[in-house]
Structure 1
Amino acid sequence: ESFSYDQEDKAYHYFMNEIGFTRALNEVINIVNLNREKYDHIFIIGFSIGATIAWMSSEYGVDGIIGFYGSRIRNHVEIEPSCTTLLFFARHEKSFCVLDLEEKLRTKQNTSVEIIEAEHGFMNPY
């Protein structure tokens, strides 16, 4: 199912109720595994929910991830990326303290965190 930009809340609830992070992660891992022989390197770029899924996949044989404002990463701080990981967060998030999350992530190997003076969604021109 697809959603327009003005249906952001509906899209988020659809994802959380109908798909979920575990199913999405399994699909990403499957795609990576199906394409591993075809490509020398596989990188994942994700935004918001996609950034959290990219973070979760960082332990499963990808070569690098870039994540933008993956606010649910805060629920998966136990992950130890086995690949180069670059995370961008907006300094101003409504649902959590970015600086608390940054403190937890900065000590992880292979992980760089950048805080941007902006709000969630800062890369989206719409």
Structure 2
Amino acid sequence: MIKYIKNSETAIIVLHEIYGRNDFIKDVCAEYFEEGFDVYCPNLLATHKTFSYEETEEAYSYFINGSGFDVYSDILCLIQKLKEHYKKVIVLGFSIGATVAWRCCESAYCDGIIACYGSRIRDYLNLKPKCQMFLMFAEQDSFDVNSICEQLLQKPNLEIMRINAQHGFLDKYSKYYNPEKTKVFKEQREIWLNHYK
């Protein structure tokens, strides 16, 4: 597990994409640590290897056939453990990590969740969030984003942001990176996170 600790009252659990704990995820961890949070980044894969962006299909297959979305039960245990030492515990996930984060939303121990382009959230629409959630979807994704958002808006404790960009636009190492849209997202995320500082 990657850890950045400075004895903050709030811990953030960062959940990576199918590629593993790559440079983008390491940058995210460092960024939140600099913002004053203690950061924990578990490995959702059954390997310490990271996949390149050209290995998308192999990476997705490896995740699904290895850990799969049931890895959320491990994250629930981590949330509960961290809650013994922190006033607040937030989960931040990207893509498959966002779907794993969404599956944790009924935990009584989780204080907040930020889920960025979790396209498989649509497979778990039966969940009812008990904590505050900030969901961000890229409108240019592989499914009908607007339809899923309309269904999600019927649920409690949700703030949803839709951005006209490609899935992965927050990642400066990705060909889909969009600095202007990233700035828009970070401004809204900052407003949401102020409740936890």
Instruction: Please report the TM-score for the alignment, with normalisation by the length of structure 1.
Output: 0.94
Q: Which residue does the alignment assign to 1:42?
A: 89
Q: Mean Cα displacement is larger for which, 41-50 or 3-12?
A: 3-12
CA distance in 2, matches of 1:92, 1:4: 21
Aligned residues: 124
Question: Cα distance, 1:33 vs. partner?
Answer: 1.5
Q: Are 1:111 and 2:158 an aligned pair?
A: yes
Q: Which residue does the alignment assign to 1:101?
A: 148
Q: Are 1:122 and 2:164 an aligned pair?
A: no
Question: Cα distance, 1:36 vs. partner?
Answer: 1.3
Q: What is the SS of the residue equivalent to 1:44?
A: strand
- Identity, in percent, stands at 40
User: Where do 4+ consecutive residues of structure 1 move more than 4 Å?
Assistant: none
Q: What is the SS of the residue equivalent to 1:88?
A: strand
Question: Cα distance, 1:10 vs. partner?
Answer: 1.3
Bigger radius of gyration: 2
Q: Which residue does the alignment assign to 1:77?
A: 125
Cα RMSD after superposing both structures: 1.0
Q: Which residue does the alignment assign to 1:10?
A: 58
Which ranges of structure 1 fall in alignment gaps of 5 or more residues? none
Question: Cα distance, 1:9 vs. partner?
Answer: 2.0
Which ranges of structure 2 fall in alignment gaps of 5 or more residues? 1-46, 174-197
Q: Are 1:87 and 2:148 an aligned pair?
A: no
Question: Cα distance, 1:6 vs. partner?
Answer: 2.7
